[in-house]
Structure 1
Amino acid sequence: MNLKTLRLHNFRNYKRFEINFSKNINLIIADNAKGKTNLLEAIYLLSTGKSFKTSNLSELIHHEKTFFFIEAEFEKNSITESIKIYYDLKQKKVLHNSTNYPSLSSVLGIMPSILLHPDDISLIKGRPQNRRTFLNLFLAQKDPLYVHHYLRYLKALKNKNFLLKTKNFKNLKYYENELIKSGSYIIKQRKDLLKNLEKNLKNSIFELSSLKIDSNLKYISTIDYENDIEDSFQKILQKNFLKERNFKTSLFGPHRDDFQIIFNDKSVKYFASEGQKKLLLFALKYSEYFLLKESLNFSPLFLIDDFDSHLDRNHKMNVLKEFSKFNQVFLTTPNLEEIENTNIIRL
């Protein structure tokens, strides 16, 4: 897949802007606060329906305007397609080719991407929510059924928590059955994903650093199960009804799960150096890219914001050599990098 053209209207600091991209590496160079990250943000929004900088989409509107409109033209499997998002304070519109979609989440899987952003270090040393988001976004871009189960799970979770808070247990069983069905699917898909990422991670670390490091990804679930996730989920909810009633919230399920990154038999979060954490983050994203490519049978976009901040010089040179394996990469940097086969974009 290749992103050919991006158009912005009243988006962030851009009133009207159009840019064409090339295959391979697109190096976006500008001083700080000149809008280079905003280009990646627009691509990411068209890809996932979310901004990586804010949850309030009104912040994306140019300060003098009341709406924004963004559009991408891209080629996938030799067919040219388009994706458009319009947003104002009253409505959101998504248009893929000639089809209207009801929500921003509808864009998932249309123009998939992998993002590496300086704040992504929270995936290594931040809260469990950051790691759950990582898993959810990957799976949502390749599996429409995962999106279905995830949204159904969130709806049932909200309703169950309302019943627990109001001490109205009349329909509790119904919502728990919804949680069990969709939650079990979510847990299985997450565990399978981590197994596949783990297989690729050691090779990714070696290719990026020439280091042979034993690395593992361990899923940590609130549902203690061996084979049948649904049965174990049901038994845990039954056993802990009084506990959840007293706490007035749902304490068990994939919304409470996490995964641990193990580096030479030790938790990366607590024992790895800052340099090791950055290397592992890049290796995770590297593995994620190729696993998503394998799942989709075409290449997603790879977006790297503030390229200079992620690795030291030696590791960065190894990464630059690896970029030849990627179909299309977007880098932002304040400095000119010596990279072969590069489309240099100066803002």
Structure 2
Amino acid sequence: MKISRLRLVHYRNYTDETVEFGDGIQLICGKNAQGKTNLLEAIYYCSTMRSHRTLQDQHLIQKEEASFLIDLSLQRGRQKEQLRVCVNEKGKNLFIHRNPILRVSDFIGEVNAVLFCPDDLQLFTASPKVRRRFIDIEISKLSRRYTQTLAMFQRLLRERNALLKQKEPDLVYLQVVTERMCACEMVILQQRHAFLNELFVFCQPFYSHFAQDDTSIGFEYHTVLDLDHLKDEQLLKEKYEKGLVRDQMSGQTNLGVHKDDVIFTIEGKNINSYASQGQKRTLLLSMKLAITAMIKEKLGEYPILLLDDVFSELDAHRCRQLMEVLPQDMQIFISSAQPIEQEMLAGKVADVFEVTDGTIQRRVLDE
């Protein structure tokens, strides 16, 4: 999978900019606050239908404009796709080959992009909601069923919470909604656990490559059911029944997969209390590379890898280790505010683009 052409109209600081990309490494260079991260963000938005920097789509629209547009030409083997995303205050308008896509869940996954950025380190220290979002986004790249099931669960959860806030809710209907939620949760929690298991199988070799030792990495998955009962839908229903009075008193659903959390570990210990910043950064980068390998194995093609300001996060030795392990046949966007020399790329060829105040121009890499 690769992006051959990208057009941004009124997106962040881009007024109307079109750029064509090649295979392999695409270096996005320029000073700070010129639009490098905005470019990577636009690609990531097409993959997940959300920004990694803001929850408000309105923040992505250029000042004093009413909407933004992203046109993207995607090549998958010999097949070409034309994707369009247009966002205004009323919502998203999505198109594939000029045909409107009515459900966001049917658009997610057309562009498969994996992002590494400095703010990702918050994954380990932030609230459980952030870690759930990370898991949900990454599984959605692998399973459309998961995306649709999660969307259904979230609608049912909102409906159940609305019923719980009523003074005299219809208890029969409340039970129907709860049972439908349980069916969704069976899919969600099983896929989350399976994803985490597989992620760390793929992740360990990458971590060992960077750390140059046999340090073990892992996770603890905390969910509504014990790990030995992840397929016990009846047990989940019983938990909801036992918690009904509490839910009615609080006016919200107090248990379920929307409360899940995952703790990442090094040598069996919580990464937050045990690991250094360097170990956390190495684990995070290893996880992102593991996800690209998982996508390749399951879908038959590499995703697009977005590395935002990665060279400032790693020392020279780690940078070279990273470049050595990156696959030749994966399209990789690397943004950098610092000068990039050919020797930093470990022999790999790169297309270079200079971003200046929302304009993009191709240039030659320094020797």
Q: TM-score, normalised by structure 2?
A: 0.91
Give the deviation of 1:70 after TM superposition: 0.8
What is residue 190 of structure 1 aligned with on the other side? 192
3-state SS, counterpart of residue 124 of structure 2:
helix
1:249 to 252, 264, 267: 252
The worse-fitting range, judged by mean Cα deviation, of 56-65 and 10-19 is 56-65
Give the deviation of 1:103 after TM superposition: 4.2
What does 1:204-283 correspond to in 2, within 5 Å?
204-224=206-226, 226-227=228-229, 228-283=231-286
Mapped to 2, the partners of 1:143 and 1:324 lie a distance apart of 23
1:341 to 329, 349, 353: 349
CA gap 1:291/1:36 in 2 versus in 1, 3 angstroms: same
Mapped to 1, the partners of 2:285 and 2:72 lie a distance apart of 26
8 Å Cα contact 1:36-1:332 kept in structure 2:
yes
3-state SS, counterpart of residue 65 of structure 1:
coil
Mapped to 1, the partners of 2:232 and 2:196 lie a distance apart of 17
Give the deviation of 1:265 after TM superposition: 1.6
User: Which digits, 9 at most, give the CA deviation of each residue in 1:201-256, with x for residues without a partner?
Assistant: 21110122322111112211122352433122111111222222222211111100
Mapped to 2, the partners of 1:284 and 1:62 lie a distance apart of 33
Give the deviation of 1:326 after TM superposition: 5.3
What is residue 74 of structure 2 aligned with on the other side? 74
User: Which digits, 9 at most, give the CA deviation of each residue in 1:16-52, with x for residues without a partner?
Assistant: 1011111111110010110011101111111111111
Q: TM-score, normalised by structure 1?
A: 0.96
Mapped to 1, the partners of 2:167 and 2:298 lie a distance apart of 44
Mapped to 1, the partners of 2:186 and 2:125 lie a distance apart of 27
Which residue type is aligned with residue 234 of structure 2?
D
Give the deviation of 1:64 after TM superposition: 3.3
Mapped to 2, the partners of 1:248 and 1:90 lie a distance apart of 30
Correspondence 1:304 to 2:307 = yes
Correspondence 1:100 to 2:100 = yes
3-state SS, counterpart of residue 74 of structure 1:
strand
3-state SS, counterpart of residue 226 of structure 1:
helix
User: Which digits, 9 at most, give the CA deviation of each residue in 1:129-170, with x for residues without a partner?
Assistant: 111111111111221111121011001111111111224331
1:288 to 276, 287, 291: 291
Mapped to 2, the partners of 1:330 and 1:303 lie a distance apart of 5
What is residue 149 of structure 1 aligned with on the other side? 149
The CA RMSD over aligned residues, in Å, is 1.5
User: Identical aligned pairs, as a percentage?
Assistant: 25
What is residue 322 of structure 1 aligned with on the other side? 325
CA gap 1:326/1:229 in 2 versus in 1, 3 angstroms: farther
Which residue type is aligned with residue 224 of structure 1?
D
8 Å Cα contact 2:308-2:336 kept in structure 1:
yes
What is residue 161 of structure 2 aligned with on the other side? 161
3-state SS, counterpart of residue 235 of structure 1:
helix
Gaps of 5+ in 1: none
The worse-fitting range, judged by mean Cα deviation, of 156-165 and 188-197 is 156-165
CA gap 1:230/1:320 in 2 versus in 1, 3 angstroms: same
Gaps of 5+ in 2: 356-367
